Structure formats: structure tokens, C-alpha cells
Amino acid sequence: MEKTPALILAPLPDFLMQPLHSAHVCHDYFHAQDKAGLLAQVGAEIRSIVMNGGTVTPVALLEQLPKLEIMSVFGVGYDGVPVDWCQAHGIRVTNTPDVLTEDVADTASALVLMTSRRLIAANRFLHAGAWLKGAFPLAHALRGKLAGIVGLGRIGKAIAHRLEAHGMRIAYHGRSKQDVSWEYVGSLTALAQAVDFLVVACPGGADTKHLINAEVLAALGVKGTLINIARGSVVDEAALITALQHGTIRGAGLDVFENEPQVPEALLQCENAVLLPHLGSGTHETRAEMARLVVENLAAHFSGVALLTPVC
Ligand code: 8YV
């Protein structure tokens, strides 16, 4: 089959770029010094886009790609894609659901453990030779504690099952009550008030921007820890930093940030925060499956067969 021109909007791993190069003429927009020049040169021919979960693709960019047919997202979250605009212009969008659910849920569960048992601080303590001078302070148990999941989708449910295995009780908040045994709490503030851990697992985008704001953090209070494995945009990072600095919440476990890979210095300085560099789906096994879906969705589209995991 003839290679089709593709625009690469994000830094993608070699194991994804290799198969992409075999089937497409790839133009690296992400690393291009002269982005406008690249668009002027190849924009009129581009038929596909490949990007990360968090990559924001403005309509102004898409308007310069008159032959664009499909956007294949290397991630489950597609909050950076203007889906309504794509639908209106007949552009297909795909993502990589399911294959990353378990890894992301493992990461959330690990953040709950790391924050409650202060495992990162304990590791630093031992490396620094402090054990010879005395015992590490006691931490907090998980059993019997209440976790509130914000966004009970596939990943939220997988997190809930893991936390139940730690003896925790589960409640959740979302757009609607679901047919599950866990308690639904219609008010996010009321959920935050009730829980020991507030775990953010909802999609990013305009609808959930700063859902976790100063008011929700105040409700979470000194007994509460915020966990976010979803999108940085869901949490008002400035309000979170203030809460962590003043100890008005107990702590935070974060895998995502508002302006990745930039993390505010003030947040880096917070001893009561465990910070991970957006590695929720970052295993060899899962990223290989995600790459396969990206490649196979594009192949399906250009051979005129049904997409494997269409968003629209
Ligand atoms: C990835 C993600 O880190 O799936 C998502 O939405 O944000 C992550 O799994 C990312 O898309 C790959 O770099």
C-alpha cells in the first residue's frame, strides 16, 4: 500500500515510530524548529495525525490540514482533541482504551499506599542513614478508611477494586449513579468531606477543569489525601499547593500536572506530596499494546475497514 503522509504532534517512542515509518511518511511537527514552515510545506497533504493523550490540538492547526482524515491518540484520554469539530468535519478519532486500565489503577493504588504509609520518605530516611539514629515515625493504616473515586469509569472501577483489597470502603462521585454496590455521592464537596482519600479518575477537558478547587480541598481537610492519576487540568494546582503548604490537607499523590513536564517549584518543595512523572501507563507491556492500537487503527482506516477503538 502507498505510504500516506502523517503529522506527528508528540514525542513518541521508537517502538511506535518504527511501524509508523513503515506505513506512513512521518513529519515530526513536535520537534520541528520551524513549525509554520513545515505546515506550509506538507500541511496540504497530511492525512493522519498521531499524538499523545495530553497533546492539545487547536482547531487553528487542524484547519491547515485540508486532507486530514484521522487522528490516532496514543493514550486513552483525548481531552486535547476538539472532538465536536472533528465530527463536524468527518475526521475520525481513535484512542487506546482498556489496555492501560490495570497499570493506571496499579499506579493509583501505589500512590495511596505511598502517601498513607509514607514509603518514599521512609526510603529516603534509610538511604540517609537515619535508621541508625532512631525509628521511622508511625504512619496511617488503610483498612477501614474511605476512598472517594471521582469518575467511576473503567479505570475508576479498577482502582476501587484494588483499594477494597486493602480493606478500604469505597464511595464515588460522577455525572450519574451507576449499578454498582459502592455508595454514590451526588455532591463532590460532600464526598470530599466524608473521605480519607479523594481519587481523581475522570476525563480531563473543559467540563472537568479545576473540578478539584479550593472549596473541595477545604472539604477534604486535614484528614484527607488527594490522589490524581487522571489529568492535571482537573485540579486547581495553585489551590492544591496552598493546601499542601498550610497543611490544610494531609497530603497528595500525583501522577499528572497542569503544565507537564513543568511542575511548579513550590510543589516540588512540598514534603507531603508524592510526585510521579506521568507514568500511569508506563510499562513495556502496556505501551506496546497502546502502540499496536495506534498503528492498527490507522491501518484499518486506510484499508477501509472498521476502526478498532473509535472515539468518533
Ligand atoms: C500516556 C495518558 O502517558 O492514556 C492517557 O491518556 O495520558 C497516558 O497513558 C500518554 O498518552 C502517552 O504518552
59-109: per-residue pLDDT in tens?
999 999 999 999 999 999 999 999 999 999 999 999 999 999 999 999 999
For the chain, residues with pLDDT lower than 70 are none
Q: Would the CB of 54 count as within 6 Å of ligand 1?
A: yes
Give the per-residue pLDDT at 72. Answer: 98
CA 103 to centroid of ligand 1, rounded, Å:
11
Give the per-residue pLDDT at 131. Answer: 98
Residue 79 lies in a domain: yes
Q: Which atom of ligand 1 is found nearest the CA of 10?
A: 13
Would the CA dihedral through 128, 130, 132, 137 be positive or negative? negative
Count of structural domains within the chain: 2
Same domain flag for 58 and 115: no
Same domain flag for 118 and 267: yes
Same domain flag for 63 and 139: no
Mutate to test the pocket of ligand 1, among 281, 292, 309, 311 (most ligand atoms within 8 A of CB): 281
Residue 280 lies in a domain: no
Give the per-residue pLDDT at 116. Answer: 98
Q: Closest by alpha carbon to 69, among 1, 3, 2, 6? A: 6
Give the per-residue pLDDT at 212. Answer: 98
Same domain flag for 31 and 159: no
DSSP state of 2: P
Catalytic residue (one of 47, 92, 173, 231): 231
Residue 170 lies in a domain: yes
CA 232 to centroid of ligand 1, rounded, Å:
12
Residue whose entry in the numeric block shows the C-alpha cell 511537527 = 29
278 carries an active-site annotation:
yes
81-93: per-residue pLDDT in tens?
999 999 999 999 9
Same domain flag for 239 and 270: yes
Q: How far apart are CA 127 and CA 113, in angstroms?
A: 20
Which residue range forms the structural domain that includes residue 13?
4-97+285-303
Q: Would the CB of 46 count as within 6 Å of ligand 1?
A: no
Residue 309 lies in a domain: no
Same domain flag for 199 and 182: yes
210 carries an active-site annotation:
no
Give the per-residue pLDDT at 1. Answer: 77
Q: Is 278 left (phi over 0), alpha (psi -120 to 50) or beta?
A: left
Residue 308 lies in a domain: no
Give the per-residue pLDDT at 54. Answer: 87
What does pTM read for this prediction? 0.97
Q: Would the CB of 95 count as within 6 Å of ligand 1?
A: no
**How far from 199 is each of 59, 70, 194, CA to CA, in Å?**
32, 33, 13
**How far from 201 is each of 152, 154, 164, 172, 233, CA to CA, in Å?**
7, 9, 16, 10, 12
- CATH assignment at residue 11: 3.40.50.720
